[in-house]
Amino acid sequence: MNEKNTNPMIGILGWEEGTEITLSQLEEMPGNIANPNTFDFPVLYRRVKGANFQTVVKSPNQKVLREMIKSARQMEAEGIRAILTSCGFNAIFHQELSNSVNVPFVSSSLMQVPLVSLMLQKDQVIGIITADQESLSEDHLRAVGITDDHYPIVIGIEHTEEFSKICRDAHAVLDQEKFINEVVEVARELTRLHPNTGAIVLECTDLPPCADEIRASLKIPVFDIVTLTNMVYKAVTSA
């Protein structure tokens, strides 16, 4: 941990605890944004009442949005200099959230897609790996500035065995190695279908623990919520 910055400058809004689908098994993995050991700087975490898989991913809920805004404003009042969320599907709420506070607000790792597009050749595409392909709509993409010109290719992990298992059963035991291997295979399938994939952006904030394995397997850049959090931290803090 950076001893020069002992007070949290980064705040992260997370799902509530105690509901059936929290995916808490994934949150415990090293590299997950919800695991404080992922970062070498202090982070303030706040659980948002009513936020869960159903109200954020499946059916975006205005009541939850209001709770997120309330929590974000509290964080700002406490001295947090930038706020992120622990679910990429919050992209759908981006404009409302970013306009609710006076500090940078990062709703989703998908915000990196326009930037990554500028790094690639014109004939290359960006692969987006999401937790739920069917639920990730054009509205989510447009809300964070992604247009057809950015050429994103979306593929989901919703049918992989380990992810499906913990979505069905909140008490199921996660095989972390198998989960990572299955996500890497999804990434390989994406590049098999689209050999001109120049980079991958992981929408799901539970996927950064898989990022290094994807990079090693495919030899292409992988961007996720952790790469974005580190960038934002550097932008809003000083030594």
**Cα distance from N-terminal residue to C-terminal residue, the chain:** 13
What was the pLDDT predicted at 158?
A: 94
Q: Provide the whole-model pTM.
A: 0.92
Task: Provide φ and ψ at 175, rounded to 5°.
Answer: -90, 100
Q: Where in the chain is the domain with CATH 3.40.50.12500?
A: 10-108+227-236
pLDDT tens digits for range 87-108: 999 999 999 999 999 999 999 9
* pLDDT at residue 196, as a whole number: 97
Q: How far apart are alpha carbons 152 and 112 in whole angstroms? A: 11
> What local confidence, expressed as pLDDT, does residue 3 receive?
43
The pLDDT-based confidence of 5 (bands split at 50, 70, 90) is low
Tell me the mean pLDDT in the region 66-87.
96
pLDDT of 6 reads: 77
Our CA dihedral for 27, 11, 208, 239, rounded to 10 degrees, sits at -130
**Percent of the chain whose predicted confidence (pLDDT) is above 90:** 81
The pLDDT of residue 71 is 96
Q: What is the pLDDT of residues 112-147, one digit of tens each?
A: 999 999 999 999 999 999 999 999 999 999 999 999
Average pLDDT in the chain:
92
Mean pLDDT, rounded, for 61-74: 95
Confidence of residue 230 (pLDDT cuts 50, 70, 90): very high
Spatial separation of the C-alpha atoms in residues 122 and 136, rounded to whole Å: 24
Residue 199: pLDDT band (50, 70, 90) is very high
CATH topology of domain 109-224: Rossmann fold (3.40.50)
The confidence score (pLDDT) of residue 215 equals 98
- Domain span(s) for CATH 3.40.50.1860 in the chain: 109-224
Average pLDDT over residues 230-239: 90
- What is the reported pLDDT for 7? 87
pLDDT band, very low/low/confident/very high, at 24 (cuts 50, 70, 90) = confident
Mean pLDDT is highest, among 46-60, 182-196, 225-239, for 182-196
Let me know: does 119 contact 166? Beta carbons within 8 Å. Answer: no
Reply yes or no on whether the pLDDT at 151 is more than 90: no
CA angle 141, 144, 148 (to 5 degrees): 45
CATH topology of domain 10-108+227-236: Rossmann fold (3.40.50)
d(CA 156, CA 153): 10
Give the confidence band of 2 by pLDDT, cuts at 50, 70, 90: very low
Contact 35, 27 (CB under 8 A): yes
